[in-house]
Structure 1
Amino acid sequence: MMNLTVLLFEDFETLDVFGPVEIFGRLKDKYQVSFCSLAGGIIKNEHGISIVTERMNDLRNEVDIFLIPGGHGTRAAVNDDGLIEKIIEICGQSKYVLTVCTGSALLAKTGLLDGRKATSNKKAFDWVITQGQHVEWIKKARWTKADKFYTSAGVSAGMDMSLGFLSDIHGVDYARKVAFEIEYNWIEDMEEDNFYLQYHKKNADIRVDS
């Protein structure tokens, strides 16, 4: 049994968290899900979601999988030195580290992504890359894998990454079965992101029209 520990902070993105939690949480024979935050207690987001969390200092068990979501709250969180220090500590203890959306900005701020491939939400990409000047940012990717670090593009891409992780650990047929059970059209190619193509076209149209 592996434990998945999800980091929460004020104004986390709902689907960044609950997309992967839906996937891992239903696999009760293989994964156990818990939530943590810097100070512990109830963490809320702008959608009105409240979750009780454990204080990061009180995490007693080794963290097998550490999940860092994104959301508007990352803008303030990247400047919280105490949080960044705890992320570094927990990442060092974890077998795998997964980020969704702008969660990669928090991981980049630690320096642990330096020299590694990573991606993020296409709409926030220009801001995210300022948090890690030495990261090999891949704008087109749906998700990336570099050693034990997985990063995904925006919001729903966290589900594609989670299924990609299951494919790496348990095989592609297992991941496809999980995707079928939740009636999700899994984007299996980590290097292709249709949303990147749409944003790229939209920006190109803007430049032509201006």
Structure 2
Amino acid sequence: MSIINIVAGGPKDLHPSYHNYHSEDAIWVGVDRGVLYLLEDNIIPNKAVGDFDSIDENERKKVEKKSKDISVFPAIKDKTDTEIALEWALNHHSQVDKIHIFGVTGGRLDHFLGSLQLLLHPLKEGVQTKIIDRNNQIELYNPGVYQLAKDKHAYVSFLPVLKDIKGLTLSGFKYPLNNCHIHYGSTLCISNELINPIGTFSFESGILMVIKSKDQCE
């Protein structure tokens, strides 16, 4: 099994330390300016993708020289660079275990919201995928029973995606729930907190977005 880390070109000050996610089996994918971010941290990307319209000619030469495998796309296309990178991860690595996406929060809201919707693709494939920045981790879940361990993220929020959530139960949290119907558009489950070392959440139908957040940067 492999872990694929996708680094896009969003504001660098919101990126966590990549080395916290580095391991022998990790595959790194740089997206546009994200390739430069990796190189600045002495991580050579296994794959580089994008139209590279956000970097200058000297930076592009550096990307082409240092990257192990690079695919350049036209600026005018039907998919974002991040979607292309995610599709590459899902199509070329049938044994992928996890995908982490960095550099898609902050900056332009249209890019961020588009990246949130991209999480639906690996969800359908059964691949655990998170959007990660210095303060937040965002993940989508299909119906089932899951556990969350208490960590540096003080808050946990649960939001319906596209449709209502049926049968949401939370245990081990400051604000527990038992078999609740959560309407799409509801903010009932914003800013909950784990009170036990491990909390459990479960639901019967719908797609649930779970956001772990903290106030202070690393």
Question: What TM-score range do you get, normalising by the shorter chain?
Answer: 0.3 to 0.5
User: TM-score, normalised to structure 2's length?
Assistant: 0.39
Instruction: Point out the structure with the larger strand share.
Output: 2
